[in-house]
Structure 1
Amino acid sequence: MAPDRKREKGTPGAFSRWMQHRANARMNRKIRKGKGGFMGMDVLILNTVGRRSGESRETPVAWFADGEDARLIIASGGGSRHPDWFANLMANADKATIELPGRTAVPVTPQRLEGADRDEAFKRIAEAQPRIAKYQSKSDREYPVVRLTPR
């Protein structure tokens, strides 16, 4: 009801933001119940702190194994711009945690990969999920790849 009212008042995208929030909340509930998959990918909950608001944020994000306990995530954000969670993660890296299906939050250290490290990680991600390479090929920006390592 509220999204329609906002939309009528001329706030573009209010309804789609509302729908995304609902979808994220549903996925977070599934992950907390021990079910962490979406479209053939493993999903975790990335807990960040808003860079401007200071409020806690929870975002379901696909992840890919990187060694024994590190995970890779990719900031595609629908192609056109970096997602808000990425900006929040980089601004408040020391407050980041992840939740894996059915487990409690684990503090992590995020590291944005650059150069050859990024290229190698992206190649492995694209091999695991070819659709990500397809999305990247349609974008004018290079998707950031972030390694999350438990602290």
Structure 2
Amino acid sequence: MTDETTKTKAIDAPEVAAWWAERRQYLKRIRKVPEIRQKFWREVGVYLLRRILWSYGFFPVFIAFWFPFVMASFNPVVLATDMIPILQGFIDSNPEQQATTISTLMIAWFSIGTFFLVFDFVLTPFRSPYQYEADVYMKSWEQLNHDQFPDKM
């Protein structure tokens, strides 16, 4: 290691420490603000509702209609011709078989929805309003304290 590299590391550490210390203090302060706390819980609710509706509402319905449509070569007449005997068989079956079929469909719906829910949580993580507020504050803090730090900051 050169002497210049040691100086850079020595300068970077206090800058980063000061930045993170200021960010932590700011987050502590804004967690006490009722408007931001209310915004946080509202955004958590909207985020969860959106993920659940998307995963359990859209994907299972889309797959339930898309796969048969693809298997019917995108021909609605063939799809109807294939589905009518299946639906007629369901209607003609006894109540126990109907209940088994319905429970199997519900399990399939739930498993597809759960798979996409987990996948959706990974792809679109929740972005806290606290973090957003801290990011905005830290950008202004960096600009205000820019002259106190070397050119690197």
**TM-score when normalising by structure 1:** 0.23
Quick check: which one's strand share is greater?
A: 1
Q: Which has the higher contact order (CA 8 A, sep 6+)?
A: 2
Instruction: Identify, as 1 or 2, the structure richer in helix.
Output: 2
Larger Rg: 2
